[in-house]
Amino acid sequence: MKLTKSHTYYIINFVIITGFIMLTSCLNNHEEKLTTILDKEQARQSQLSKIKERGLLIALTDYNSTSYFLYRGEPMGYQYDKLRLFADYLGVDLEVRISNDLDRSFRMLDQGEVDIIAMGLTVTQKRSNRVDFTKPHSQSRQVLVQRKPENWRKMRTWDEVESKMIRNALDLADKVVYVQKGTNFSDRMKNLANEIGDTIYVIQSENEVEELISMVARGEIDYTVADEHVALVNEKYYSNIDVQTPVSFPQHIAWAVKKGNDSLRMEANHWLNSYLQSAAAGYIYDKYFRNPRQINIAQSEFHSVRGGKVSQYDDIIRSIGEKYNIDWRLLASMIYQESRFHPEVKSWMGAFGIMQLMPHTAALYGVDTTSSVEEQIAAGVKFIGWIDRQLPESIEDPVERTKFILASYNVGIAHVYDARRLAEKYGKDPNRWTDNVDLYILQKSDPKYYNDSVVKYGYARGEETFKYVVEILERYEHYKKVLQ
């Protein structure tokens, strides 16, 4: 067939138009891909940015005698101490949440309820499909926790004791092993059963690892599995358990972030690089895993996990809190701040006792240095009630009102009123403490502000009051997590 000029013209136009459409489509596809990449990168970067913008790192850890607990009213723990350092490195505050349910912990991370999981998480391929791990902060292996023979102390030789212990994985055949639900211990036991070609009966328990260890010690179950560093700590508490039989190779232990949260993971890795080389890393590890005093701490009635108390006055504080309709845990946090629960303390300004009342204030409520702890606490709570009645009703938010009461207890209500007037003068809300009135209580040590015409009571050490409010409420949040 012979092509005419018109045919050629249409063919050329068709090729040009088709090529243009294909080029436009390619450009659009490229632009869409580029936009998707940029959006993902922006999203990744924004995770760390959000933490810094809100000024708060929300971390999840487990509540036990090593990771996080209260001792004599103060939060402590191997993971907690590291988290504090990491939050300081980021330049933000720290909020700790607790969960001993690993499945729930991963869900909380997936749903954005927490930024990071700071536990002794074993790095596995299965978990890596769900979360992103930081670089390992330690290594451990899994060990079998078993009970020594009942009469082991009376046996003539250690070999006689050893003969009663499981030292060979083959001897786990037909045994019942309890493990914490959701941990890697269950998978390891199933793999071990395959390796020995026999049956190991694995029961997944809702109990946390340390509780399962104590159940072995009490004779309620025969076997459980734990990470070696945790097992070795608990071996010091229970002389009748044995943790010398490994059931896995050494494994990496790390923190976890949400899948794709590269900015936080990379920042954590950067911090870990320097932290792991520092003296602090060795100090914190030794503090919780090699410190001989840790046995006494863990067995103390003032250890929140095992003893459940923050002070010897918990019952009195509870009773008075109930009588005067104040959360006893808030009152306990305040008492800790004032006296560390030591009723004999006396300040350089003359404040005395467990509530650190000034003599003229104490006299109004009929107490002095000879009064009982119960009488002093009751007087302090009555004084708190008086402060509450003096504050204006315009401070409606109960949380903000609590902050005003705490500040007034510390520095005096007159100075708080000065700070309210300064806040109002400079365009801040006089009925909100945080980021408003607290900024001007800080300025009460600056002549520019304490000589201002709206200030009636002059100089005050505002930084102390600012910290007083923050620290009491931070500790109160810890108390609410673990104390009924």
pLDDT tens, position by position, 245-261: 999 999 999 999 999 99
Do 113 and 186 lie in a common domain? no
Residue 148 lies in a domain: yes
pLDDT band at 160, cuts 50/70/90?
Answer: confident
* CATH number of the domain encompassing residue 442: 1.10.530.10
User: Do residues 221 and 334 both lie within one domain?
Assistant: no
List, in order, residues 6 or more apart from 418 with CB less than 8 Å away.
440, 444, 450, 454, 455, 456, 457, 460
The token pair at 41 is: 């990168």
β-partners of residue 133 are 256
Strand-by-strand arrangement of the 241-246 sheet: 201-205, 176-180, 223-227, 142-147, 241-246
Higher per-residue pLDDT: 29 or 432: 432
**Residue 357 — φ and ψ, nearest 5°?**
-80, 140
Q: Are residues 274 and 336 in the same domain?
A: no
Q: E strands within 81-137?
A: 93-98, 116-122, 131-133
pLDDT for 362 equals 96
| The predicted structure's pLDDT at residue 295 | 76
Q: Are 119 and 167 contained in the same domain?
A: no
- Higher confidence at residue 349 or residue 451? 451
pLDDT class for 307, splitting at 50, 70, 90?
A: confident
Both 348 and 446 in a single domain?
yes
Regarding whether 432 and 339 lie in a shared domain, the answer is: yes
How many C-beta atoms surround the C-beta of residue 276 within 10 A?
14
Are 148 and 132 in the same domain? no
Return the sign of the alpha-carbon dihedral for residues 106, 111, 114, 116: positive
Q: Are residues 458 and 320 in the same domain?
A: yes
76 to each of 47, 220, 287, how far by Cα in Å?
Answer: 27, 30, 10
Is 6 part of any domain?
no
Q: Residue 239: phi, psi to the nearest 5?
A: -70, -15
Query: Can you give the CATH number for the domain in which 116 is found?
Result: 3.40.190.10
Do 260 and 242 share a domain, yes or no? Answer: no
What is the predicted pLDDT for the residue at 266?
Answer: 96
Q: How many CA atoms lie within 13 A of 473 on its CB side?
A: 20
Q: What is the structure's pLDDT at 9?
A: 57
**Amino acid in the structure at residue 302:** F
Residues 6+ apart with CB under 8 A from 75: 68, 69, 96, 475, 478
Number of domains in the chain: 3
Domain that holds residue 220: 142-248
pLDDT level of residue 155 (50, 70, 90 thresholds):
confident
Let me know whether 293 and 210 are in one domain: no
Q: The whole model's pTM is what?
A: 0.81
Q: Judge contact between 135 and 269, C-beta under 8 A.
A: yes
Residues 216, 97 within the same domain: no
Residue 408 lies in a domain: yes
- Mean pLDDT over 11-34 rounds to 58
Note whether 337 and 446 are same-domain residues: yes
- Higher-confidence residue of 191 and 25: namely 191
